[in-house]
Amino acid sequence: MDAHKTTLLIVGGGPGGYVAAIRAAQLGITTTLVEGAGVGGTCLNVGCIPSKAMIHAADAFHQARHFMGDGTLGIQVQDAQIDLAQTVRWKDGVVARLTGGVGALLKKHGVRLLKGRAHIVDGKTVDVSGLRAQAQSVRIQCEHLLLATGSQELDLPGLPLGGKVIGSAQALSPERVPVSLVVVGGGYIGLELGTVYRKLGTDVTVVEAKGRVLPMYDEALTNPVALSLRRLGVKLMLDTQVRGLDDQGRLRLQDAAGRESVLTADQVLVAVGRVPNTHGWGLEKLMLNMDGAAVKIDECCRTSMRNVWAIGDLTGEPMLAHRAMAQGQMVAEIIAGHCRHFAPACIAAVCFTDPEVVVAGLRPDTAQSQALDVVHAEFPLTANGRALTLASTDGFVRVVARRDNHLILGWQAVGVGTSELAAAFAQSLEMGACLEDVAHTIHVHPTLGEAVQEAALRALGQGLHI
């Protein structure tokens, strides 16, 4: 077995892993990155990026079909069709461009990339097998070991993937548009993909065990999403449990009253969440402290073993690529001797549903549950000029702030294009902005960003446009 030494060995080339590798190399740390599939991990290959590409393509097709029978904008389209194979090729091209760019950056900064399967020997040693053009394994010895193995789709008992039952990765590369699709799970993954298929022409039903879609968010934010789904023709079966498939391949359901029924569909998409990827690569040999199914870390992403670090989805919620990236950058800088710790004021999150939902910081109910005296205000997009010109006025922007000193504690928004407000939300929270800071900043007209200013003005009792 070949043996190599490195200062930093990173297991997992997703957003957290590759960012940590690039930053470490920039700081002069000898770095080796091991990735068993494609650099970029789930996010770039079968998650964030391809799903957003398919969302865009499906929306463009839906808009064209909508124009066939709607003369509101004076646009008429004679015959809208979609070449699904070409759409998938375009999506794959977007993915290839980004993953190729990551590979080029790793090479530029001198990161040694090993495309193979990692298996932990101990806290200083990792064997890598399955390397291209190399029959035997490679043993890597390191001073620092960074675990960035990400997460995997959560299986649903009684509904294993295979045949008509698919996961999100398979749903992003369809060979055909199914006649009917049942989406099991009303979270953001299920709703994003369910909306894609509905806009492509599929009869879509969403089955959710809770009483509403996106149950992790408050009802005011989720109502516009549910309304939009129903307008699209998506059927919502709420308070309903999935019990598996019967012997005829039909989905067995049970409602809140215990009544059972069956549902027939061309395909079934299981989207009930993700879990940390902790199996199959020897994590158990390290005997690290765990936090449920996740690796337990401190504010610097240290595990319970000296010089063994963990970042991203492996460490639990929130499972967000940008969280993993920030953690990876921080770990590299700590190893290089910088004084760092991970204590963000907020980590914004976006659901790319139609309309989009973005949250950052505290909601009014969560602030009040922490015994904080807060003021909050919403500005409806029906009063925003840019939203009117986009013919998309469902939704609002909400701000939450302390009543005594007006320190902003949180932002939420729902509406078309509101994902682009996430940076402004996060920045105001990180900088400790008050309502007056936002309200007295001149915002460009006409933009959705004006709704941010207007929400702050309303919270101060100074609303101008409502």
**Strand residues in 311-463 grouped as ranges (E):** 349-351, 356-361, 374-380, 396-402, 408-415
Is the CB of residue 438 less than 8 Å from the CB of residue 408?
yes
CA dist 237 → 164, 227, 230, 261, 288 (Å):
20, 14, 11, 12, 41
| Long-range Cβ contacts of 292-300 (<8 Å, 24+ apart) | 292/316, 295/147, 299/341, 299/342, 299/343, 300/330, 300/331, 300/334, 300/340, 300/341, 300/342
279, 338, 341, 445: the catalytic one is: 445
CA dist., res. 304 & res. 291, Å (int): 11
Is the CB of residue 384 less than 8 Å from the CB of residue 372?
no
Tokens representing 420? 């682009």
> How many other C-beta atoms can be found within 10 angstroms of the C-beta atom of residue 371?
6
**Strand residues in 158-307 grouped as ranges (E):** 165-166, 180-184, 203-207, 235-237, 240-245, 251-255, 260-263, 267-270, 274-276, 290-291, 294-295
CA dist., res. 82 & res. 93, Å (int): 17
CA dist., res. 225 & res. 134, Å (int): 51
Q: Is 66 a catalytic residue?
A: no
State the catalytic residues.
445
